[in-house]
Structure 1
Amino acid sequence: MTRAIPVATDAVAVQPPASAAAKRSAFKSIFIVASGNFLEMFDFMVFGYYATYISNAFFPTGSEFASLMLTLMTFGAGFLMRPVGALVLGAYIDRKGRRQGLLLTLGLMALGTLAIAVTPTYAQIGLAAPVIILIGRLIQGLSAGVEVGGVSVYLNEIAPPSAKGFYTSWQSASQQAAVVFAALIGLLVSTSLSPATMQAWGWRIPFIIGCVMIPFLFVIRRHMEETEVFLQRKEHPQLGQIMRTIGNNWGVVLQGTLMAVMTTVFFYMITAYTPTFGSKVLSLSAGESLFVTACVGIANFVLLPVMGALSDRIGRRPLLIAATVLGALLAYPLMSWLVAAPSFGRLLAVELLLATIYATYNGAFIVYLTEVIPAHVRTVGFSLAYSLATAIFGGFTPAISTALIGATGDKAIPGAWCAAAAILSLTALLVGGRIQRRKTA
């Protein structure tokens, strides 16, 4: 029988206060596991931030719009590999363990990043250049397909019952730290080098920095301890068993995918697409756009744990419903107000408001999804739902937004795309709630 997503309970069991040593150990575990997640998002973000330079280096077509679209589609192509990574690597983590699997994903991400950092340009090696870039993105996508799920599941399993929302929210918070770091590096590089130097080699600097971080992150992540939840399981399912269980619970995966649409679309709108939108659509400087992106990351880094903790107190559903309603109602009007008189101040205000809506939703959603997937297939189930939403909707948000603006001439149309994502996720949440109430009646 298909399993529907249950309504999260609002009641929280009272737990004895944790000792100072236990708290230090918990935060150490959060830092260790989130460090690799930081690299995964850093590498993904810098590709989006430098889309214009990458398009000129690897996808010269004679048309600036066509080159940018090819680059953004390559950015999105990495997301097409996420469902594959979710199934294959997710099953590996559920079978072999959280620690071993997360070390593997870090290695794959490192390989993809290195390929992008050192590949010669189209002018130097011809068609081999965009092919290598595409392969590097696909390898990154394979790793990223399970990184978010693996980290979220790990944090959920080490968290005390009364703080699962707070713990799990640090998966997303670590991504925001990467957004800030990538934006600040980009701001420093773009203001220090001339446009010609940036195009020639300056855009590679953030990727090289990512490569330099890899050995240190390997050392950090090797200190991860396996979760007690995994160690206490006497049987670890094989790939065939995992696929059958996922098939029997396809309703959970489908509904989780639809609920993840909002968080993935909003995330890539306010982070990966902001530098391109600010410079190409609003004609603001690259520095201004990157500064706004850094501010968005800082705001989310603070808000996500706050919203995760709030969901521990009042329940997941109130936050999920409030955020989706606000996203549906406000996204397009905010964008229309921005494009009516583009300025740094308006871009900052709109992005921060959208970031608050995103953080409210994501802070509750990530832990919500970990709680409804069967424990023995939790990594692959979570990763598959999240990666499908990213591959179909979120990851292509920069390309879809660019295409919609080109087709309609409406510079605010990306706001309509965000609103549609919010409506879809709200519908999935409400329908799931009704199904669950009928089952428990």
Structure 2
Amino acid sequence: MTAIPAPSQSKFGTVLRVTSGNFMEMFDFFLFGFYAQYISKTFFPAGDEFASLMLTFMTFGAGFLMRPLGAIFLGAYVDRVGRRRGLIVTLALMALGTVLIAFVPGFATIGYLAPFLVLVGRLLQGFSAGVELGGVSVYLSEMATPGNKGFYVSWQSASQQVAIIVAAALGYALNVTLTPLQIGDWGWRVPFFIGCMIVPVLFMIRRSLQETEEFIKRKHRPDAKEIFRSMLDNWGLVIAGMMLVAMTTVSFYLITVYTPTFGKSVLKLSTTDSLVVTLCVGISNFIWLPIMGALSDKMGRRPILLFFTLLTIATAYPAMSWLTNLPTFNKMLTVELWLSFLYASYNGAMVVSLTEVMPVEVRTAGFSLAYSLATAIFGGFTPAIATALIEATKDKAAPGLWMTFAAVCGLIATLVLYRKRGDVTPGPGARNSEPETDLKPA
């Protein structure tokens, strides 16, 4: 039987251990989006730049279609065998996908086998990521001190921002040291190689994780059949959770993964400008996420979720319209930082809310399924949808409409999940703010 972690174990050290693998998962995903133009020319050559880019973004999105499967099967595994073992498995799968993308030769060398192997790598990454965010979020919620669950869980998202910062910084360094021809030829692979080199270190860090006390003390560990049955019984809760995540996942991929392509291909700004903006967005997200997570511990989740969905609906498209009318670096930075503030403020309360509404016995599977469905349906295809919307409408600000739609989904979900009465604001030692909802766990 796994020993209960010693009370003296550093909370900071535990947060660092559990989020280190989450950093790696997200780092690999971001790289694919950051270098979409170069990847499209290497693996998906086409006569039309739009078609080539769309093939790349569709491959990027295909990884998200695997997330629901990863959420169901790996989520059930984590809920049955433990948080620690499950998080090690997800890291291994992500590492395998990264190796494939980093080392596969281009289309000119091995033909159609190249895009096929890249697709396999993306599918492996998607399968593992389907439960990674849920596993990390649940782990953090179960090890959090009373009254501070929102603050602790916010570090799941904050670790993703570190990945953005590192990926953007690497991109900037490559852009100022290599020529565009060198980057297109082989330079874009360098960050993927660095990711492969980091993996062994992260395995060592994550292996030192101890199981959460809450999981160890649980007397009943549901098998896969019980978990699947619970998911079916709570389908309404999963759908509401999926809509709650919609705004997070759309705004996140819009302001991070899509930003370099949007800045260069649509706004016609330099690659360096776009990467600097992405770097600043990552820093902004990293600052706001724990602040708003902690604020949700004091104010409750519902007021923050409602306020920032409404603010996004009111400002997302106008902000994008202002940017696309005579775009400049300063305007792009201003708008992206505003969208960053909207995303991080909402997400700081949203992620912990999702851990609280799910039945405790299937918390990882339920969280992961809701999150992965939202990512597969809404967020993962955001770069492709944004590209298609601009092409169809000839409106460069059209991605702002997609973010507005996602905010409407988040608003509806918040009203549904908290429709009975508002959540209770937790105090020190109090029960964290779990919503009173008519959607009851099985």
- Into which bin does the TM-score normalised by the smaller protein fall? over 0.9
| 1:294 equivalenced with 2:257 (yes/no) | no
Quote the offset at 1:161 in angstroms: 2.0
In the TM superposition, what whole-angstrom CA distance separates every residue of 1:395-418 from its partner, at most 9, and x where no partner exists?
100000000000110000000110
Instruction: Please tell me whether the aligned partners of residues 313 and 404 of structure 2 are also in contact (alpha carbons under 8 angstroms).
Output: yes
Structure 1 residues 245, 231: CA separation in 2 closer, same or farther (over 3 Å shift)?
same
Letter in 2 for 1:334: A
Quote the offset at 1:22 in angstroms: 6.7
Distance 2:380 2:438 in 1: 34
Distance 2:95 2:284 in 1: 28
In the TM superposition, what whole-angstrom CA distance separates every residue of 1:106-129 from its partner, at most 9, and x where no partner exists?
000000000000000000000000
Task: Output aligned runs, 1:18-167, within 5 Å.
Answer: 25-167=10-152
Distance 1:246 1:143 in 2: 19
Quote the offset at 1:427 in angstroms: 1.2
Quote the offset at 1:434 in angstroms: 2.4
Q: Which runs of 4+ in 1 moved over 3 A?
A: 21-24, 435-440
Distance 2:50 2:15 in 1: 42
- Please, which of 262, 275, 280 is the counterpart of residue 265 of structure 2? 280
> Which structure has the highest helix share of the two?
1
Residue in 2 that maps onto 1:430: 415
Residue in 1 that maps onto 2:429: none
Quote the offset at 1:248 in angstroms: 1.1
| 1:198 equivalenced with 2:174 (yes/no) | no
In the TM superposition, what whole-angstrom CA distance separates every residue of 1:177-219 from its partner, at most 9, and x where no partner exists?
1001000001101221111111110000010010000000000
Distance 1:350 1:77 in 2: 29
Distance 1:435 1:113 in 2: 45
The SS at the match of 1:162 is: coil
Quote the offset at 1:246 in angstroms: 1.1
The SS at the match of 2:407 is: helix
Q: TM-score, normalised by structure 1?
A: 0.94
Query: How many percent identity over aligned positions?
Result: 60
Unaligned runs of 5+ in 2: 1-5, 422-435
Distance 1:46 1:108 in 2: 17
The SS at the match of 2:147 is: helix
- Please, which of 315, 328, 331 is the counterpart of residue 346 of structure 1? 331
Distance 2:378 2:135 in 1: 21
Letter in 1 for 2:396: K
Letter in 2 for 1:228: E
The SS at the match of 2:175 is: helix
| 1:262 equivalenced with 2:272 (yes/no) | no
The SS at the match of 2:221 is: coil
Distance 1:419 1:253 in 2: 22
Quote the offset at 1:160 in angstroms: 1.4
Quote the offset at 1:329 in angstroms: 0.6
Distance 1:325 1:72 in 2: 29
- Please, which of 121, 134, 159 is the counterpart of residue 174 of structure 1? 159
Letter in 2 for 1:146: V
Q: TM-score, normalised by structure 2?
A: 0.93
Distance 2:167 2:9 in 1: 28
Structure 1 residues 329, 24: CA separation in 2 closer, same or farther (over 3 Å shift)?
farther
